[in-house]
Amino acid sequence: MIPLDIKLLFKVLKLHVRHKGFGKITLRFLFILLPLIVLNHLFHQFFFLLDELIFPSYRKIETDRTIFIVGPPRCGTSLLMDLLNQSDEISSMKLWELHVAPSICEKLFWLQIGKIDRFLGSPLSKKYLEINDRILGGFKNIHDTSYFHYEEDAMLFYHTGNSPFYLFLFPFSELKSPLLDFDRSTSPGYKARFMTYYKKCVQKHLFVFGKQKTYLSKNPLFSSYILTLKEHFSDARFVFMTRTPYEVVPSAISLSTYFKRYHQYIDDASFQNRIMEMLTSQYAYPHSVLDFTDTCRNVTIRFADLIADPKTTVENVLKRFQIVCPQELKQSLSERARQDENYISRNRYSFEKFNISDSHFKSYFKDIISIFGYEEKKRDDRHLRA
């Protein structure tokens, strides 16, 4: 079964009314977004029930050794996910699965549609990519994505009505609990309901794409879920990605502003403050709860190290987690390193663009810079997809 957080959805509705009255933003949520969330939930619920009848053996699939990439966004998490997925022993969900196929039945259906499309010369795929490029436009320069790319599987919680992405879609400060403080602000029963659903989604993915593979999840927003994940994935392993906040902050605000422009919830200054508060938590909380002396389960990777030597970085992660790095992958990583060596990002982010003063920035990140030993205002412009 797919749980649905009715209380959180009504909380979002009440926040709309409290902060926006009964204007067009509130009415849009009430009569368009909320019904779509519920209908989407019911639609996928049907196929989850069908899975239980047709493919009950999926529940036997082992997921305890799942790998979670956490930490702030814009730290090379997407790149690391792509590189690790070149190993035949690792598997992650792509965006099409997360949005339209969380169940086994749906996955098999769309895989058959894909086979038919390729047989016909891929007209559907080509048309989709054309539309995707047109709709996303400049966003692809910030975060290149499509239905065929690996993505953050926290999107699975769109189907349960409590996605942590609501922090961007509905940036009300009252949603910090539970979305930005999941470990500490939710009850054991709440955690069990939604982690059971999430774990089933992982099992369903592996049932279709490789029962013996290790599942890999990349979610900066899971940085506040770490203790809950460890409780429900008993042998879970974590990769904690970091990068100087002088680079992360303007890049993350630029990415988040892309979503904000589609609604008018709060002013720019308040929105930026909430992004910086979230980023501070994504640095500090994993650092405080993960035991990095347990080198077989917890690894820290700095963005600069991933840029400088992706081959060694990936090989070390796989070795730590006792996953074979085949010769083909080593060769691919060497080629990737040569491609990235002289590539310079076209993206330029500055505090001036977002009217962030140095003193205001340091009110959030002074301790973070000290703890992680980052130099002030030092940047690395070489491009890697975050």
- Asked if 298 and 290 count as a contact pair (C-beta separation under 8 A), the reply is yes
Q: How is the beta sheet containing 298-302 ordered, strand by strand?
A: 90-91, 214-218, 67-70, 237-242, 298-302
The DSSP element (H or E) to which 240 belongs, if any, is: strand 237-242
What is the torsional sign of CA 248, 19, 35, 128?
A: negative
What pLDDT does 375 receive? 76
C-alpha–C-alpha distance, residues 355 and 100, integer Å:
39
The DSSP element (H or E) to which 177 belongs, if any, is: helix 176-179
What pLDDT does 382 receive? 44
The two structure tokens encoding residue 119: 């047989």
Question: Amino acid identity, residue 59?
Answer: R
Collect all residues with Cβ–Cβ distance below 8 Å to 168 and sequence separation of at least 6.
Answer: 256, 259, 260
Q: Which CATH class is domain 58-372?
A: alpha beta
The DSSP element (H or E) to which 218 belongs, if any, is: strand 214-218
The two structure tokens encoding residue 249: 């902050």
Count CB-CB contacts under 10 A for residue 168.
20
Along the 386 residues of the chain, how does pLDDT read in single tens digits?
899 999 999 999 999 999 889 988 899 999 999 999 999 999 999 999 999 999 999 999 999 999 999 999 989 999 999 999 988 999 999 999 999 999 999 999 999 999 999 999 999 888 888 887 776 655 555 566 778 899 999 999 999 999 999 988 888 889 888 899 999 999 999 999 999 999 999 999 999 999 999 999 999 999 999 999 999 999 999 999 999 999 999 888 887 777 665 556 767 778 888 889 999 999 999 999 999 999 999 999 999 999 888 889 999 999 999 998 878 877 877 776 666 555 445 555 667 777 888 899 999 999 999 999 887 655 444 444 44
> Measuring CA to CA, how many Å separate 348 from each of 28, 142, 250, 280, 308?
34, 10, 9, 22, 20
- Asked if 76 and 303 count as a contact pair (C-beta separation under 8 A), the reply is yes
What pLDDT does 337 receive? 63
Closest Cα to residue 215, out of 231, 194, 229? 229
C-alpha–C-alpha distance, residues 382 and 304, integer Å:
9
- Asked if 84 and 76 count as a contact pair (C-beta separation under 8 A), the reply is no
What pLDDT does 330 receive? 77
- Asked if 50 and 107 count as a contact pair (C-beta separation under 8 A), the reply is no
pLDDT digits (tens, 9 = 90+) for 363-381: 999 999 999 988 765 544 4
Closest Cα to residue 346, out of 148, 150, 152, 144? 144
